[in-house]
Structure 1
Amino acid sequence: MSDTKRPLIKDPEPVAKALAGTLEPLVLNHRPRNKRQKVHGPPPPIPSRPRQCHFLSPSKNKYCTLTTKLGNKFCGEHSMHEVSSGAGSDNAQDGGEDGASARKRIPCPFDPSHTAWADDLKTHLYKCNARPRDNKAHFSLDINLALPRLESPVDPITMTEDVNLSIPSDNKAKRDLLAKLSQEQLLSLIKKIQSLHAKYVPSIRTLILDHPALDERKKMVKNIKHAHQQASLLGHMKRLNMLDDPTSCYLEFGAGRGELSNYLKVAVDDHGSSTFVLIDRTPSRNKFDSAILGLEEIKSLVKRYTIDIKDLVLAKVPELRRDVTATQRVPPVAAKQDTNTEADQSSQQEQEYLEKKPVVAMSKHLCGGATDLTLRCLTNYQQSERGQSLLPSPVKGILIALCCHQLCHHYMYPNQEFLKEIGISPEEFVYMTRMSSWAVSVNQTKAGAISTTDIGTGRTLANDDNSSTDSPAAQDDEHQVETDSELEELGSHIPALDFQARERLGQQCKRLLDIGRVRYLNENGFDAELVYYVDQETSLENLALMAVPTSSNQ
C-alpha cells in the first residue's frame, strides 16, 4: 500500500519551521482574565470508573471523564502524559521490551491545545487546521485603524497632543490609569463632559418602526425583545430605501449567527438576486447561512468571512463585483487577449474594477471599537471607489445598532479631529469609555427615585427618559456590564454622584462618542443621524446610527 496522499500546499515554510522548532505556537483566546482565582481543596480520589482518564485538570480540580484505551491510563487527548515504558500498553511496539520504541504524543507546534504522534508529526503538520494560512487579497493588517497600535505600553501622562500615539489598550494599563485619578480630577472631568454634552449633542428623536418579516418570529418565541429590535431595524432600512435594489450586496458586520441577514432575506424577497456577506472575527455555531441561501431553485449568494474588521479591505472582496452572482460564484477569468500596450492593460483592469454592486452595511449591536472599525472600513471603500465607480455612491446605506462603548479604544476611534476639537485627550478618552458603562451597569443599586442635580449645572436628573433601569430589560439585557471596581468605588464616594447621576453621566459619555461618529460620516459624504429605534423596556442599548449618501451623491 502506498502512503496516504498528503494535501498539496503552496508554501511548506510553516511546516519546515515547525519541524525545526523555530515557530512560536499560536496563542488561542489570548484575553486577560479578571476573574478571581479559585481556591481548590485537596485533589479528588483517583477515578474508580474503569478506563476513565487519569488526567487531573488543574483549573477544575477534577479528572477528565473521557474513556481510555485498554491498558492505558490517559485518553487520546491527554496521551502525552502516558508513561512510555509501560509494558503491555497499546503504545508499546513489538521491537522493544523496555518500551523505548513506544509511540508518543506531543503538543502540536502550531496549536498546543491538541496533540499529535511524534513519529508522524510531519504528516500532521501538513493537514493541521491551525497551520498558518496565506493572507488573502482582502487582508491588510491594521488597515482600518485610526492610529497605529502601540506594541509596548507608554506613560500617557507624558504624552503631548501632537504625538501620534495612543493609550495602551490592555486592561491592566487601563486599571493602572484609573488608579491615578483623584476625586478632584474626576469632578473636573465630569463637569467638562457635561459641558461638552450640552454644547455638541442635540436632541435625539425616538422612532420605533416595525416590519412584517418578523411577524411569524414574534408568534413563535416568548422573549420577543430581539424580534422587536430586528423588526425596527428592518423598518428603518425600508424607510431609508436600503431595500429597494434587490441586486445590492448586504454586509452584516459582527454577524454572529447571521440572524439579522436571515430576516433581511425575507424582507427583500430577492429571488436569488441579492448578495449577503457576513463578517465576524470568530466562527459561530448554529449559523443561519443555509437559511439565507433560500429554498428557490436559484440560491442567493452567501459568503461568510472570518476576519477582524481592522484588517478588512472591502474593495478586494470578490462578492462585491457584479460579475459574481448566485449562478457565477467565482469571478470569471478574462479571456486572454493581446495587450501589448500598458494603456490596454490598465483599461482592462479599470473596466473590471468599475463593476461593483451597491453596498448596504448593517449590524445589530456592534460592540465598542468594532463600530469604529466598520465606519473606517466603509469610508476607506468609499474613497477607493471615488472617481472610478459607475455608482453615484458605492455605499448605499449604513445602519448600526450601537452598544458597549466601554470597549472603545482611542486608536480605533475614527474622528480624531473631533476629539481634538472638544479637547478630549487620550487619557480622558479612557475615562469616558469606562464611565460610559455606568449607563448599563448591573452593580449599581437604585435606592429610590431621588431627585439629583447635575454637578455645576443645577439641572434635575430624576426624570430623564433615558435613565430608567428598573424595567425588565434592565434586569435581563445582554449588554449589561460590571463597571471597573476602581472607578465605581471612586464615584460612589462622591456625594453628588448617586445612582441616577452616574447613569446619566454614562449616557452623556456614550452620546459624545456617538456624535463624533455622526460628524465623521457627515464629513465623508453621508447624511447621518442618531435614532432611538426601540424603547428602553426592550433594550438598554436602544440607539442606532443611520446614514445614507448625501443628495449630491445619490
Structure 2
Amino acid sequence: MENRCKFWLPKKNRFCANAPLSNSSFCGNHSQRSDDVWIPCPIDPSHSVLQANLEGHLSKCPLLKQTQSLFLQPYYQKGINAGKEEVHEDETIKPTRVKDVLSSNEANSCSLDSVTSEMKRNAVYNLTLPQFYELIRKIQSVHSTICKDIRESCKIPEACDIWIKRDVDRKLPFQEKHVVQQASILGNLEAFGVLKESVNWKRCESEGPYDVPCVVEFGAGRGYLTQMLADCYGIKKVFLVERKSYKLKADRSLRQKEQFILERLRIDIEDLNLNAVESLRGCPCIAVGKHLCGPATDLSLRCCLAEYSGEGSVEQCGGNPSLRGLAIATCCHHLCQWKHYINKSYLSKFGISKEEFHAITWFTSWAVDGDHGSGVSNVIDCGMHIHIEKEHSGSVADTVRKMEQCERAVLGLMCKQIIDMGRLMWVKECGLETDLVKYVPPTISPENHLLIGRQVSQL
C-alpha cells in the first residue's frame, strides 16, 4: 500500500493523498500533535494555520495577492452598502418585549456581529405565550395590510427556447429546475418591458453605442444566468459580481463570443461602489440576481440605487439614471439582519422593531421546512390565520412543537412576504415601477419570490 497520510476524508471517501511526516502517520496538514494550536487565518478565515507558522503563512496566503489587489481598486469601499443599525429620528417604533428576553451576552453580540439563527430562536423561545401570540397577531395584521396581491408569474419566453430545448453547447451544465428559474426571471423582465429579444436590439444598433444595455449580475456564482442572457438576448457586456472563486464557470464560454466584454469583480457586494467602476460609467444597465441569500438582496439594492454622500457612505434612496431595470430572486430570509435591511423605516411604521424583525426572519425558515408543495400558497391566499389558544399555559417551545406543519409554513411565508414587500416599497421610493411575483411554482423552488423594477421613463 502507498505511503499516505492516514487522515480519512469523509467527503471524498478516501484517505488523504499527501505523504506523511517522518515518524508520523499524518501529513503536515493533518498532524494531530496536541501541543500545536490551530487558529483561523486573519486574511481568509475559511482555513486555519498553526499559530507557530502564522508569520510565515501571512506572507504567502493564497488570498493575500487578491486582497491586496482589491484594496487598490477605486470601486472598493469597505462597508459602503452595509447600512446602519439605527433608523431616522422621526421613525418611532412601539416598545417591544422580544428585546427583554435577550440575554445580556446575546444583546452585546447583536450590536457587534450578525444575530445568529440560534440567538433568534432563543429569543423567541424565552417569550411568554401572551408575548408570542401578540407577535403573531402583529405579523398577521401587517401581512393583511401590505401583502394583498403577490401573483403567480411563471413566464418562459420564446427567446429562451434554445435552452429549454437543450439546443446549447453540451459542455454547459444543464439542470431543468435551474433553467426554468433562469428563463422565468428573463421572461418576467421581458414582459415588464426591460428586456427585448436580440433581434429587436440589433435593429436599434445604429442609434447609439449603448442601445443594448449591459448587465450586472450580483451573486453571479458560475454565471449561467448571464450565459442565458447572452445566448438569448444578445447582451454584449456583463459585469459578474461574486466574492468567491468557482470552478466550471461560464466565463470561458462567454469570452468565446464575438465582441463580448466580460468583467468579473471578485468583491463582497457590501464593499462595492458601483459608481466607481470605470468601464460601467455612462452605460445603461440591468441588474439581475438569482437567489441572493438573505442580506445580499438588500446590499445589492443599496449598491444599485442608493445615493452616496461626499464621504462615500450611503445616505438615502435615490434614482440611478443608468439603471434601466432590475430582477432579483430573493431567498434565505432567515439570514437577514436588521443593520443591512433596506427599509427599516417602512417596517417601523407598523411597529416592527429590530428584535421583532429578527424573530420574523427566524420564522421564515418554516416556509421552506419540508415539502409543502403548492398547498401553502393556496391556503395563505384563502386567508388562513394561525390558531391562537385562549389558554396561555406552557412554553413557547412546546407550543411551536405542537403547531401544525401547515400553520408553521403559513406563518413563515407571511414573514417572507413582509420582508420582500418592504424591499419593493424602497425600490418604488427610488422612482422605479415595481412588482413582486412568484416566478416559479413552489414545486420547482419554494424560494420563488422575484422583485422586478424598471425606470418609469421607459414607459
What is the TM-score when the length of structure 1 is the normalising length?
Answer: 0.61
Structure 1 residues 286 and 499 mapped into 2: Cα distance closer, same or farther (>3 Å)? same
> Is the 8 Å Cα contact of residues 121 and 362 (structure 2) preserved in structure 1?
no
> Is the 8 Å Cα contact of residues 168 and 174 (structure 1) preserved in structure 2?
no
Q: Who is 1:178 aligned against?
A: 124
Once the 2 structures are TM-superposed, how far is the Cα of residue 492 of structure 1 from its aligned partner? Answer: 2.8
> Is the 8 Å Cα contact of residues 125 and 397 (structure 2) preserved in structure 1?
no
Paired residue total:
394
> Which letter does structure 1 place at the counterpart of 2:326?
I
Once the 2 structures are TM-superposed, how far is the Cα of residue 537 of structure 1 from its aligned partner? Answer: 2.9
Once the 2 structures are TM-superposed, how far is the Cα of residue 369 of structure 1 from its aligned partner? Answer: 0.9
- 1:139 and 2:76 correspond: yes
Q: Who is 2:315 aligned against?
A: none
Structure 1 residues 536 and 263 mapped into 2: Cα distance closer, same or farther (>3 Å)? same
Q: Who is 2:425 aligned against?
A: 519
Q: Distance in 2 between matches of 1:392 and 1:445?
A: 38
Higher relative CO (CA 8 A, sep ≥ 6), structure 1 or 2? Answer: 2
Q: Who is 2:242 aligned against?
A: 280
Q: Who is 1:442 aligned against?
A: 370
Structure 1 residues 167 and 117 mapped into 2: Cα distance closer, same or farther (>3 Å)? closer
Map 1:298-313 to 2 at 5 A: 298=259, 300-313=260-273
The unaligned stretches of length 5 or more in structure 2 are 87-97, 103-109, 167-172, 197-209, 313-318, 389-394
* Structure (1 or 2) with the greater helix fraction: 2
Q: Distance in 2 between matches of 1:408 and 1:542?
A: 17
Once the 2 structures are TM-superposed, how far is the Cα of residue 246 of structure 1 from its aligned partner? Answer: 5.3
> Is the 8 Å Cα contact of residues 252 and 279 (structure 1) preserved in structure 2?
yes
What are the superposed Cα offsets for residues 358-411 of structure 1, whole Å, 9 maximum, x if unpaired?
Answer: 1210011111111111111111269999xxxxx982211010112221111111
Q: Who is 2:356 aligned against?
A: 428
2:68 aligned counterpart, secondary structure:
coil
Map 1:154-553 to 2 at 5 A: 156-157=99-100, 168-220=114-166, 224-244=176-196, 247-270=212-235, 274-296=236-258, 298=259, 300-321=260-281, 356-380=282-306, 393-442=321-370, 454-455=385-386, 489-493=398-402, 497-551=403-457
Q: Distance in 2 between matches of 1:447 and 1:381?
A: 41
> Is the 8 Å Cα contact of residues 147 and 166 (structure 1) preserved in structure 2?
no
> Which letter does structure 1 place at the counterpart of 2:287?
A
Q: Distance in 2 between matches of 1:189 and 1:417?
A: 19
1:409 aligned counterpart, secondary structure:
coil
Once the 2 structures are TM-superposed, how far is the Cα of residue 421 of structure 1 from its aligned partner? Answer: 0.4
> Which letter does structure 2 place at the counterpart of 1:211?
P
Structure 1 residues 211 and 382 mapped into 2: Cα distance closer, same or farther (>3 Å)? farther
Q: Which of structures 1 and 2 has the bigger CA Rg?
A: 1
Q: Distance in 2 between matches of 1:417 and 1:447?
A: 33
What are the superposed Cα offsets for residues 9-40 of structure 1, whole Å, 9 maximum, x if unpaired?
Answer: xxxxxxxxxxxxxxxxxxxxxxxxxxxxxxxx
1:360 aligned counterpart, secondary structure:
strand
Structure 1 residues 117 and 402 mapped into 2: Cα distance closer, same or farther (>3 Å)? closer
Q: Who is 1:130 aligned against?
A: 63
> Is the 8 Å Cα contact of residues 275 and 301 (structure 1) preserved in structure 2?
yes
The unaligned stretches of length 5 or more in structure 1 are 1-48, 83-105, 150-154, 322-355, 386-390, 458-485
Map 1:143-154 to 2 at 5 A: 143-148=80-85
2:286 aligned counterpart, secondary structure:
strand
Q: Distance in 1 between matches of 2:23 and 2:446?
A: 54
What are the superposed Cα offsets for residues 151-198 of structure 1, whole Å, 9 maximum, x if unpaired?
Answer: xxxx94399xxxx96995234432432231222222111111111111
What are the superposed Cα offsets for residues 36-83 of structure 1, whole Å, 9 maximum, x if unpaired?
Answer: xxxxxxxxxxxxx452225588x99x995324279664666449789x
2:306 aligned counterpart, secondary structure:
helix
Structure 1 residues 401 and 226 mapped into 2: Cα distance closer, same or farther (>3 Å)? same
